[in-house]
Amino acid sequence: MTTQPPIDATDLRRALGRFGTGVTIVSTLDAQGSPVGVTANSFSSVSLQPPIVLWSLRRASPSLAAFDATGRFVINVLALEQVELSRRFASAVPDKFTGVEHAPGLGGLPVVQGCAAVFECRTEQRLEVGDHILFLGRVEAYGHRLGPTLLYCQGDYAQGVSLESLAARAKAPATSAGAA
């Protein structure tokens, strides 16, 4: 019988990091009605008919109880200029929404302002998988705007712009500040 060598968790994380992802803040309300949010890059579209998305949260997260209790969540897809929000919501800061522009969405859940896209969801299913909980949500409302999105790849933040946009910028004639 052949045995496989154990998987090195640190090296596996490096390998998984080669896959660039979008960066989101997933938000909800706790039992007292206070806003709760976490940075997550596990967001993905699952189905268009019906509109279903998913994201995952560590079982050990102190925010898990809030997401379980409300049965609702908001996926706030961050725009490039929101990198500091990503860092804030990934930290242990106790009240992450202090000073953060947000407005009440469906069910009063916090919708972060200025995002590239927002998906307001009702939890359809919750699955325990390994050390995470998968939340599958039915999209009940959404919105989006143009502009570069925040990405995370190879252990660092990056920006999402189309290759066509970059090519057009490269072909554009240079302008001088003093030209008449």
**Reported pTM:** 0.87
- Residues 4-35 pLDDT 10s: 888 888 888 888 888 889 999 999 999 999 99
Domains and their CATH numbers in the chain = 21-171 (2.30.110.10)
> Residue 48: pLDDT above 60?
yes
- Residues 134-167 pLDDT 10s: 999 999 999 999 999 999 988 899 988 778 877 7
Looking at residue 129, its pLDDT comes to 97
> Residue 176: pLDDT above 60?
no
Express as a percent the part of the chain with pLDDT over 90.
Answer: 72
3-state secondary structure the chain: CCCCCCCCHHHHHHHHCCCCEECEEEEEECCCCCEEEEEECCCEEEEECCEEEEEEEECCCCCHHHHHHHCEEEEEECEHHHHHHHHHHHCCCCCCCCCCCEEECHHHCEEECCCCEEEEEEEEEEEEECCEEEEEEEEEEEEECCCCEEEEECCEEEEECCHHHHHHHHHCCCCCCCCC
